[in-house]
Structure 1
């Protein structure tokens, strides 16, 4: 099937698939973060702000510190990617080269995290747990900012509350609602479920799945970028 933009100049099929795979990666990271890294989220900062407020209200310093670490990591990742991709305009056909470079950097970060996770036997504690938590938030912040920088060829992959609300509001009464929104929502569930199952069956290997999914998404998205460059595209 040809990878063409949609009727409203939206992303082609290949880019949509890459987004779905990145959402699955987010589900995988969130599962590890919430179940094993101090019960905070790596990419859902709305929830972490609420968790921070609850920790303050209960006078729980450890809970507040965990939420602050996740917020700081996410902010640092988003800020770094914003600096790297500054000045690049997203198009509907592919992700810019700098966005791809940021995703590869995320994959490397997740690979290192997977190694640390495995070395800890899938049950990190103390400083190791804090380092992994900060790294997971850094990765999700970078991924979120990369999708913003990618513009029309991307969609949110780390937070889907707004996506769900928009789908309900704009989908009511439409003859053909956007089928890719349920695909993204389902991918989040699948990524989380697969990671949880892997944690139970082979705990040291659970950290590999987020790395594998981000790498797969980058490889899928590389095709349109390479075709654009082969066609003589500039500033990709």
Structure 2
């Protein structure tokens, strides 16, 4: 999905149709916001590691090993293992899935739906424990949160040019600066994703401070919103069979 004007720039050179492209871009922003909210719960509420930023977790693992901190090692390993497992499962599930530029294939939406269910289960456990789960439950939730982020990352890769990164934005920011700001064609969708990440993180962080049992709910709500909006291009194609056949 191209966020930056200009041939071959951004994160994909193919531009979806205006209506479907707008829906998918909004869905991506909501997925990023869900990731930010989950990162707040993971880092501030569990064991000080990230659910979706594996570069940081590898650094945390190295620092924990260097300082001889067993707890830090365990949390980083659980996050890395969960993320890898989630990405592998989705890679196998979406193998041979034909990526489209106008919509996300059903298998991608199924992955996101399963992720929403997983996050909802985690939010329920979090709420029932008053937002203060014991060590064993925290370990399970840490691995589960990372598994969800690994699945989401792999789903966006499998979706191809109709999607964009939603769990790690370092490369997105660098591309935006170099090929957007640097060429005079900045666009608005990358800043919206960056803002979405911060807003999602801020919401869950605020809930952790003021209403801790509810802090794990925003990722679920944002995920469901993203899925609902991402389904709009498919509904539009079903309402317009003539246009669908013309584009086939």
TM-score normalised by the chain length of structure 2 = 0.88
CA distance in structure 1 between the partners assigned to 2:31 and 2:139 by the alignment: 24
How far is 1:202 from its partner?
Answer: 1.1
Is residue 99 from structure 1 mapped to residue 104 from structure 2 by the alignment?
no
Equivalent residue, structure 1, for 2:22:
13
Equivalent residue, structure 1, for 2:43:
34
Structure 1 portions without partners, runs of 5+:
1-5
Cα offsets for 1:198-222 (capped at 9, x unmatched): 1222111111110110111000000
Is residue 60 from structure 1 mapped to residue 65 from structure 2 by the alignment?
no
CA distance in structure 2 between the partners assigned to 1:229 and 1:150 by the alignment: 20
Q: Out of 153, 176, 197, which is 1:144 matched to?
A: 153
Paired residues for 1:95-134 under 5 Å: 95-134=104-143
Equivalent residue, structure 2, for 1:172:
181
Cα offsets for 1:60-83 (capped at 9, x unmatched): 121111100000000111111111
Equivalent residue, structure 1, for 2:222:
213
Q: Out of 214, 237, 248, which is 1:228 matched to?
A: 237
CA distance in structure 2 between the partners assigned to 1:58 and 1:199 by the alignment: 28
* CA RMSD after TM alignment: 1.5
- 2:179–2:185 contact (8 Å) kept in structure 1: no
How far is 1:226 from its partner?
Answer: 2.6
Equivalent residue, structure 2, for 1:190:
199
TM-score normalised by the chain length of structure 1 = 0.93
Structure 2 portions without partners, runs of 5+:
7-12
Paired residues for 1:79-90 under 5 Å: 79-90=88-99
How far is 1:37 from its partner?
Answer: 1.1
How far is 1:229 from its partner?
Answer: 4.6
How far is 1:36 from its partner?
Answer: 1.3
- 1:36–1:124 contact (8 Å) kept in structure 2: no
* Secondary structure of residue in 1 paired with 2:31: helix
How far is 1:104 from its partner?
Answer: 0.2
Q: Give the total of aligned pairs.
A: 228
